[in-house]
Chains A and B, each alone.
Chain A
Amino acid sequence: MKNALIIIALLFSVSVYANEKDSTIINKTGFSLDFKNVFGTAPFEFKKEYTTAFGEKLNFVTLNYFISNIKLTKKDGSEYIVPQDSSYFLIKHLDSTSHGIHLNGIPAGKYKSVTFTIGVDSVRNTMDVSKRTGALDVGARARGMYWVWNSGYIFFKLEGKTINEVDSLSKNFQYHIGGYGGYETKTINNIKVKTIELGKIRVSSKKHPTIHIQVDIAKFFDNVNPLKVAEHRSVMGGPFSGKISENYFNIFNLENVTY
C-alpha cells in the first residue's frame, strides 16, 4: 500500500515538474560568483613551489575562506540582499565544486557592484547551533574552520611550508585569521566587507552573469603590511591577525564578467 502511494506520488511529481519547467525559468534569474585562486600570474596549486616578493620559497597545503552576506547594488543605490540564511559559503581550494557560488531568484535588472563579507558576521558567530548548518556546520563542512576554545569561525586559513635553499629543509607556517568582535567584551574584529565594482551587469531570464574574482595569494604576502613568513610563521588570532586581514582584504579583485 505504502509503496503504491509513493509510486503514484512520484509519477505525479514528474508531471508537475514537466509542466512547470518553462515557467520556473523566469523565476530562476540569477548570477554566479566564481573564485579563482592564483599566485601572481600563475595558477594556484597545492604542493607547488612559489617565491614571494621577499624571496621566500614556499608551498601550500591549505587555503579556505568564508564568503557571506552577499548583496548586489543597482546604479540608483538600491540593493538586493541575498536572504541571510542562504548566504554563507566556504570556499575550499581542495574542493573545486566550492569555488562557484550560484544564486537564483535575483530580481532582473542592471547592477553596478557586488558586496560580500570575507568571514562570518558577528551575530551568526554566537547564534544557536540550529542556525549554523551547511557551510557553517562545525561538525561537518566547517571542520577546522572554527576555534573551539575561543569560539568563533576562522575566516581565512592559509597553511604550507617554507623551503630553505641551503639545506632544503622545510618548515611549516600557518595563518588562521578570525575574530568577530566578541560577545560580552570587545575582542579583535577582523570582519571585512568587500565591495567590487562591476561597471554594469545585467541579470535577466536570458542573461546569467558569472562574476570572476581573482584571489591573488602572492599579494597575501606583498601588500599594505609586508608579510615575511620567517618573521611570522604562525598567526592564529592576536594583534597581528588584523594586519593580515588588511592584506587579504586587498587580494580579492575582479577578473571579468561572463554570461
Chain B
Amino acid sequence: MLPTKQPYSWNLIGIVTCLVILILSSAFAVKTFTPEPMVLEIPSNFPKPTYDFANNPLTKEGFELGRKLFYDGSLSKTGDISCGSCHQQYAAFIQADHDKSHGVDDQLGRRNALPIFNALFKKSFFWDGGVPKLDFVPVNPLENVVEMDMKLDSAILKLNASEKYRSLFKNAFGVDKITSVEVLHAFAQFMGAMISANSKYDKFVRKEGETLTANELEGLKLFQTKCSSCHATDLFTDGSYRNNGISLDFNSDKGRAEVTDNPADIGKFKVPSLRNVAFTGPYMHDGSFETLEQVLEHYNSGIKQSVTLDLQLMNKDGKPGIPLTKEEQAKIISFLHTLSDFELLHDNGFSEPNH
C-alpha cells in the first residue's frame, strides 16, 4: 500500500479493535459449531474411495442432516416423494417391485433404480454415467420432472424457511444461511458413509470366521472365470459401460451414448455392482428380468446380437453367450446370495429418522 498523508494512530486503534471483535465473535461461533467428526473404516478388500471427504469433512451432524434430507418428502413438488421412496432400505436401497421407478404424481421414470450404497467408491453415477461427482447426484432426481420435480433453488428456499433445518445446518456446517454447498455436502455425507461390506462373502475373504459351502465356493470359481471380467473387484463392477445383449432397440434409451454422443456407445450401460443382488430385482436398466434365474439363462442362451454387443460375450464359433449348464447357473446364484449384507438392511443408522 502507498503511504498516505493521514495520521496512522486512528487507523491502528480501529484495526486492533476490529481484530479483538473478530476474535471474540469467532469464539462465540466456535461455541455453537462443534460437530463431532465421524471416522469411516474403509473395508480392506475394497478399492480406494473416489470421493474425497477432505473438501467435506464427515461429521455426525452432517451425516444425520443428510439422512433427514434423504427421507424428507417435502423436497418434492407433491410433498410425498423422498429419495427414500425410490431407494428403500429393505430392498437394499432400490425401489422394490418396480421395473421403472415411480415419482411425483405416480409418474413412471424410464429406468430401473440403482442402489446408493458404496457411492464412495463409484467412478460415476447413473446407468449412463452422466454425473461424475457424488456432490451433484441429488440435483438430478430433485429436478427431474418424473422424480421429485423440485428445482434446487426452490428446495433451498424451503429449507431456509424452516427454523428446524436452519439450526441443523448451523450445527453441522456453522452457517446461518443454507446454500447448495451445505445441502449437497450433507447428501454426500449420508450416501458416502453408507458402506455395504459385511456380507457372508466379505467375512469369508477377509477371514473373519465365515466359510462358504461347497456349492457357493464352486459358484465363486465359476463367477471368477465367467463374470468377473466385467463384474470386477470386490465392488463387482469395473465401472465401465457395456452392452450385455438384453435388447436390440435402443431408440428410447441410448445409454452411454446419450452422454458421449458417440454411436459406438449406443446400448451400453454401466456394469452394476452385484452386491445385495438378491434384493435388487427386477434386474437390468430396464428391469427386464424378474429373477436371477432369468438373468443367468439370459447370459447362457438369450443374448441379443447388436453392433455394440461386448466382444467378451461372443464365442469362438461366432455365436453369442456364456455357456452355462442349469447346475452351473444354480451354483453361481448360490454364490450371488453370499453377497447379501443383512447388516445394511437392518442398520437403524440408515433408516428413516424418527420425527
Structural contact, A15 and B56, CB atoms closer than 8 A: no
Structural contact, B132 and A183, CB atoms closer than 8 A: yes
> Contacting A9 at CB < 8 Å: which of B6, B17, B131?
B17
Structural contact, A19 and B132, CB atoms closer than 8 A: no
Q: Which residue of A lies closest to B141 (CB)?
A: A148
Structural contact, A19 and B15, CB atoms closer than 8 A: no
What is the CA–CA distance of A133 and B10 in the complex, to the nearest angstrom?
Answer: 36
Q: Which residue of B lies closest to A128 (CB)?
A: B55
Residues of A contacting B21 in the complex (Cβ-Cβ under 8 angstroms)? 5-6, 9
> Contacting A5 at CB < 8 Å: which of B24, B133, B143?
B24
Contact code string B26-46 (vs A, CB < 8 Å = 1, else 0): 000000000000000000000
Residues of B contacting A186 in the complex (Cβ-Cβ under 8 angstroms)? 260
What is the CA–CA distance of A130 and B52 in the complex, to the nearest angstrom?
Answer: 13
What is the CA–CA distance of A5 and B19 in the complex, to the nearest angstrom?
Answer: 12
Structural contact, B130 and A130, CB atoms closer than 8 A: no
Which of B73-81, B150-158, B330-338 is the contact stretch?
Answer: B150-158
What is the CA–CA distance of A183 and B136 in the complex, to the nearest angstrom?
Answer: 14
Structural contact, B185 and A139, CB atoms closer than 8 A: no
Given the interface contacts A130-B181, A139-B183, A150-B130, does A20 sit within 8 Å of B11 by beta carbon? yes
Residues of B contacting A23 in the complex (Cβ-Cβ under 8 angstroms)? 1-4
Residues of A contacting B120 in the complex (Cβ-Cβ under 8 angstroms)? none
B261 lies within 8 A of chain A by Cβ: yes
Interface size band for B? 35 or more
B311 lies within 8 A of chain A by Cβ: no
Given the interface contacts A5-B21, A187-B261, does A138 sit within 8 Å of B11 by beta carbon? no
Residues of B contacting A139 in the complex (Cβ-Cβ under 8 angstroms)? 139, 152-153, 155-156, 179-180, 183-184
Residues of B contacting A3 in the complex (Cβ-Cβ under 8 angstroms)? none
Structural contact, A140 and B10, CB atoms closer than 8 A: no
Smallest CB–CB gap between A4 and chain B, Å?
Answer: 11
A22 lies within 8 A of chain B by Cβ: yes
Q: Which residue of A lies closest to B21 (CB)?
A: A9
Given the interface contacts A9-B17, A12-B17, A16-B18, does A151 sit within 8 Å of B132 by beta carbon? yes
Structural contact, A16 and B14, CB atoms closer than 8 A: yes
Residues of B contacting A165 in the complex (Cβ-Cβ under 8 angstroms)? none
Structural contact, A130 and B55, CB atoms closer than 8 A: yes
> Contacting B185 at CB < 8 Å: which of A9, A130, A138, A182?
A130
Interface size band for A? 35 or more
Residues of B contacting A19 in the complex (Cβ-Cβ under 8 angstroms)? 4, 6, 10-11
Residues of B contacting A149 in the complex (Cβ-Cβ under 8 angstroms)? 126, 130-131, 140, 144
What is the CA–CA distance of A184 and B240 in the complex, to the nearest angstrom?
Answer: 10
Structural contact, B180 and A20, CB atoms closer than 8 A: no
Structural contact, B11 and A184, CB atoms closer than 8 A: no
A interface residue numbers (CB < 8 A to B): 5-6, 8-9, 12-13, 15-16, 19-20, 22-23, 26-27, 126, 128-130, 132-133, 137-140, 143, 146, 148-151, 182-188, 237-239
Can you list 30 A-B pairs with a CB-CB distance of less than 8 A? A5-B21, A5-B24, A9-B21, A12-B17, A12-B18, A15-B10, A16-B14, A16-B18, A22-B6, A26-B2, A128-B55, A128-B56, A129-B181, A137-B180, A138-B139, A138-B152, A140-B153, A140-B156, A148-B131, A149-B130, A149-B131, A150-B128, A151-B130, A151-B132, A184-B124, A184-B132, A185-B259, A187-B259, A188-B261, A237-B261
